[in-house]
């Protein structure tokens, strides 16, 4: 089966610019997660979708971050405006049902200069 | 909130030596526990998981972990290290109660293998 696809792999932007990341989960996986992994730290959950509804976005900085999963399949994560501290790897994961059998994508490495 | 603590951000062993990566969890009820590996510029790959069945869990690539409730630990071991084991390892916890279905990760341990 195809894995979780993410694009782009790398992105460099200046602070205050906007950026968007895309994730296509494994076919049939109802749950989709976006994690932020800052260098030297473990991944931190930003937002969790069940189909096209948000289950948990308690750690999403909503003043600058937004995410959507309109048709319950692929998802986009946006940052506007970016700050230096947003430099991180953004990982997307999906699972057949909540909390089970996560599959991670390769991530998007964002550098804000 | 449930969490995991990984003791040692960096572990270095010789090829062929025992690998021991430590993980302790904080929870009043034993949760589900996981170990993931991350190779450079890649996503996370599941090594093994504990879901309240056998306390000794065997995973891929010769790794295993033992759940010890009395010590609130889930340490990862491999009898003989291989050069290809060099990577970042993450312990993660997921509560088994309803409504809390997300993985919470530790800070990670970077494993270096010396020839």
**B45 touching A (Cβ < 8 Å):** yes
Q: Closest partner residue to B103 among A40, A41, A102, by Cβ?
A: A102
Q: Mean pLDDT, to the nearest integer, of A45-62?
A: 93
Q: List the structure tokens of A113.
A: 């200069």
Of the candidates B31, B72, B65, B70, the one whose C-alpha atom is nearest the C-alpha of residue B48 is B65
Task: Check CB contact of A4 with chain B, cutoff 8 Å.
Answer: yes
pLDDT of residue B97: 67
C-alpha to C-alpha distances, B17 to A13, B20, B48, B87, nearest whole angstrom? 43, 10, 21, 16
Question: Within chain B, how many helices (H) and strands (E) appear?
Answer: 0, 11
CB contact under 8 A, B46 and A102: yes
Residues A89-113: tens digit of each pLDDT: 999 999 987 767 789 999 999 999 9
Q: How far is CA B32 from the centre of its chain?
A: 12
Largest CA distance in chain A: 38
Q: What is the pLDDT of residue B100?
A: 55
Q: What is the pLDDT of residues B65-111, one digit of tens each?
A: 999 999 999 999 999 999 999 999 999 998 776 665 788 899 999 99
Query: In the prediction, which pLDDT does B99 show?
Result: 60
pLDDT level of residue B31 (50, 70, 90 thresholds): confident
Q: Give the separation between CA B54 and CA B63, rounded to whole angstroms.
A: 15
- Report yes or no: A98 at the B interface, CB cutoff 8 Å: yes
So what's the pLDDT on residue A1? 63
pLDDT at B101: 73
Contact A55 B94 (CB under 8 A): no
Q: Which residue has the tokens 């599959």?
A: A103
Give pLDDT tens digits for B34-61. 999 999 888 899 999 998 778 899 999 9
For residue A65, is pLDDT > 80?
yes
* B16-28 pLDDT tens trace: 999 999 999 987 7
């Amino acid at each position: 089966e195809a894995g979780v696809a993410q694009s782009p792999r790398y992105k460099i932007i200046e602070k205050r610019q906007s950026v968007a990341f895309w994730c296509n989960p494994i076919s049939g996986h109802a749950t989709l997660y976006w994690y932020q992994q800052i260098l030297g730290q473990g991944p931190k959950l930003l937002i969790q979708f069940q189909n096209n509804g948000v289950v948990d976005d308690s750690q999403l900085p909503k003043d600058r971050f937004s995410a959507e999963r309109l048709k319950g399949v692929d998802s986009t994560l946006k940052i506007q405006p970016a700050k230096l501290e947003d430099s991180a790897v953004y990982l997307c994961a999906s699972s057949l049902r909540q909390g089970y059998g996560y599959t991670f994508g390769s991530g998007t490495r964002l550098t804000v200069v | 909130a449930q969490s995991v603590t990984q003791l040692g951000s960096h572990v270095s062993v010789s090829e062929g030596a025992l690998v021991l990566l430590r993980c302790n969890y904080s929870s009043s009820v034993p949760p589900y526990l996981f170990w993931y590996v991350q190779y450079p510029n890649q996503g996370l790959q599941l090594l093994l998981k504990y879901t309240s069945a056998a306390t000794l869990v065997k995973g891929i690539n010769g790794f295993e972990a033992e759940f010890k409730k009395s010590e609130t630990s889930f340490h990862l071991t491999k009898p003989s290290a291989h050069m290809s084991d060099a990577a970042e390892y993450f312990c993660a916890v997921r509560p088994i109660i309803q409504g809390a279905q997300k993985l919470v990760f530790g800070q990670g341990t970077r494993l270096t293998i010396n020839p």
